[in-house]
Structure 1
């Protein structure tokens, strides 16, 4: 078991990990998620004794990594598949690692077969593709037949067959009672592989729960309803009926309706009573990707200027525009009604004089019209009115780019291993 307690790591003014505590238990695949720069790689390096924590500690089986006797036979890790001497063959690379740890040479040939590199075992690793390099890195992690395994982006560069193989390998290792800790940005793959999730953002723990509980806690279920496209009046009629019954109806980009606040049987009965034909009525459960995006939107450091949320500040209690504050429930005092907004929903337009959600200040009210008798230009010809000066040309190159959010931490230009 891996256990971190109050783990903190600072690089000068940059705090990569702060007060991070969690447990990775044996017998299950635990996913390690977080945006770029959230501290995942730094945390893994501290687990393996490559970086020394500024505060706190992390243990494997109750002992720090550096105190484990013959650590390669107890812990296997894939952090950087490129950390291989390009002049060595795949077999010689693994053989050198085996000799340093007292592992028999027969184990080298065994793991080469496990990862599917037995036919290229004598080829120099410098000629390997990205996917082949990943397989060689996984073979090195499995070399000592360890009980604890850490993988950082293990499916990077693999084809669909290779991804399926890694997924089955992780599950098989966990079923043998091993501790498997996997970091990845592929949400669809994590949903199929991991049973438990540890999510961090900006170096702090955001969530530590099962995949099912994570999705339920960070998403809102709804019903998808569709009426005949050739009869728009039925769509409008159904929207009115559902709204009057206490439901909340929103249009989706494909023409369907997203309905919350009403159960499916109730929607069906209301449509039948209103004589509205339904072409679709189905429940929707959010995916892991949607739930992950909902939780980590406020923890993203780098966002495109084309992103609808690029200019928004973080709202109260860490909530973004359209999101419920953490720990809040629909219907509570001060909590906006309706489902939480996902990435492709734009926040509702603000009213004049009202505060804009997520943006400091308020939208100014339009100026009142000037009476004609007080307007010095009212009786003049249009060409007599003074022309407005031309707007200055914007400085710098035009076009979208990547910008750092306003809440970036000074000194964030740290080495890549500070992620």
Structure 2
């Protein structure tokens, strides 16, 4: 288990990590998410003793990494796949690590098989592709057969087969009762790989909860509705009927309605009663990407001036003309990307959640 309490790291006047308290438990794949510059890599470096905390503590199995006997056989980490002497072959690189940690040479051949590099084990690593370098880094992390594993962007440079392999490997390691912490920017992968999430922004903890709970708390499901004869103003009529029934209708850029607060059968009944033909009535279930974007939109440090997400959260007194339902407005209009989902009416998502 990895435990952090009040973990803080400052570099001069800049605070890279601020008062992080969390646990990474065995038996689960824990996703470690956050925008660039949020402090993920710094946190992982403190876990494995490469950086000393300014204040607070972080332990692995109840001890700081630097005080853990024969640490490489208990903790494996992939933090920088390029940290390899390019003149060494893959096999010799792993053999040197094994000798430093008292690991049998036979284990090197085992991990070469696991990561699929046996056929190129005698080649110098400087000729490796990015994906091959990632596999070699994963092999080094697995070398000591550790109970605690940390991976920073493990699928970087891998092809679809390699990504699937890493996903399966992470799940298998966790199923064996190991502690697995994975940092990644690929939300689609985290959605199908991680069981639990730690999300940080500008060095602060934003969320600590299961993937399902994270999506539920930071997004909302909705129905997408398109009226057949919109030129006759029927979209507005349906929006008014939805509002009268206790729902909320928001107009999307393409003219469709985004409806929350009532289910699809009720929307269909309202349209039928008003003699409004529908071309589309489809459910939309929130994704991890949507929930993540909603939570972290205000803590992104690097954003293009052309980015349509910049400042897309509207002032609370703005509302779309079709949004006639009482209560605080959600958004005046859905951004063109189509994946932003507003929070449930009248409810703001919590910023931090501790695990029970």
Other-structure match for 1:260: 260
Distance 1:256 1:193 in 2: 33
Q: CA deviation at 1:264?
A: 2.1
1:199, 1:343 → 2: CA distance?
Answer: 24
Q: CA deviation at 1:271?
A: 1.0
Contact 2:65 2:71 survives alignment (8 Å): yes
User: CA 1:176 to 1:343, structure 2 compared with 1: closer, same or farther past 3 Å?
Assistant: farther
Structure 1 residues 6 and 111, CA, compared in 2 at 3 Å: closer, same or farther? same
Q: Deviation at 1:144?
A: 0.5
Displacement of 1:254 in angstroms is: 4.1
Asked if 1:250 corresponds to 2:255, the answer is no
- In the aligned structure 1, how far is the partner of 2:335 from the partner of 2:256? 18
Whole-Å separation in 1 of the counterparts to 2:211 and 2:93: 37
Secondary structure at the residue paired with 1:199?
strand
Tell me, in whole angstroms, the C-alpha distance in 1 between the residues paired with 2:295 and 2:310.
16
Q: Give the superposition deviation at 1:248.
A: 2.0
Within 2, Cα distance between the matches of 1:308 and 1:126? 40
Counterpart among 328, 333, 345 of residue 336 in structure 1: 328
* TM-score (norm. length: structure 2): 0.87
Measure the CA separation in 1 of the matches of 2:136 and 2:337. 43
1:277-316: CA deviation from partner (whole Å, max 9, x where unpaired):
223323222111110010001111111111245468xxxx
Cα 1:225/1:342, change in 2 over 3 Å: closer
In 1, Cα distance between equivalents of 2:178 and 2:36: 28
1:153 aligns with 2:146: no
SS in structure 2 at match of 1:279: strand
Task: Indicate how the Cα distance of structure 1 residues 340 and 15 shifts in structure 2: closer, same or farther if over 3 A, else same.
Answer: farther
Tell me if the contact between 2:251 and 2:334 (Cα under 8 Å) persists in the aligned partners. Answer: no
Q: Deviations over 1:241-292 (max 9, x none)?
A: 2233333222224443201122222211111111222233232221111100
- 1:321 maps to 2:350: no
Mapping of 1:175-194 within 5 angstroms? 175-194=175-194
- Counterpart-to-counterpart distance in 2, 1:34 and 1:341: 26
What residue is the counterpart of 1:413 in the other structure?
A: none
Please say if residues 252 and 334 of structure 2, whose CA atoms lie closer than 8 Å, have aligned partners that are also in contact.
no
Gaps of 5+ in 1: 313-319, 325-332, 347-419
> Bigger radius of gyration, 1 or 2?
1
| Matching residue of 1:52 | 52
**Aligned equivalents of 1:31, 1:340: Cα separation in 2:** 33
Counting only pairs closer than 5 Å after superposition, residues 219-368 of structure 1 correspond to structure 2 as 219-228=219-228, 233-308=233-308, 310=310, 320-321=313-314, 336-338=328-330, 344=336
Distance of aligned partners of 1:116 and 1:345 in 2 relative to their CA distance in 1, 3 Å threshold: closer
Partners of 1:341 and 1:144 in 2: how far apart?
53
Residue 35 of structure 2: aligned partner: 35
CA contact (8 A) 1:3 1:23 kept: yes
- Structure 2 residue ranges without an equivalent (≥5): 318-325, 339-356
* Kept in 2: contact 1:260–1:339 (CA 8 A): no
Q: Aligned residues, how many?
A: 330
Structure 1 231/153 Cα, relative in aligned 2: closer, same or farther at 3 Å? Answer: same
TM-score by length of 1: 0.75
Correspondence for 2:201: 201
- Cα pair 1:88 1:125 within 8 Å, conserved: yes
Q: Within 1, Cα distance between the matches of 2:80 and 2:316?
A: 36
Aligned-residue Cα RMSD (Å) equals 2.3
CA contact (8 A) 2:7 2:55 kept: yes
Residues 18/343 of structure 1: CA separation in 2 closer, same or farther (3 Å cut): farther
Alpha carbons 1:234, 1:276 under 8 Å: kept: yes
- 2:65 is aligned with 1:72: no
Paired with 2:61 and 2:316, the residues of 1 have a C-alpha distance of 40
CA contact under 8 A between 1:76 and 1:141: conserved in structure 2? Answer: yes
Structure 1 residue 225: Cα displacement: 1.4
C-alpha separation in 1, matches of 2:204 and 2:254: 37
Contact 2:250 2:332 in 1 (8 A): no
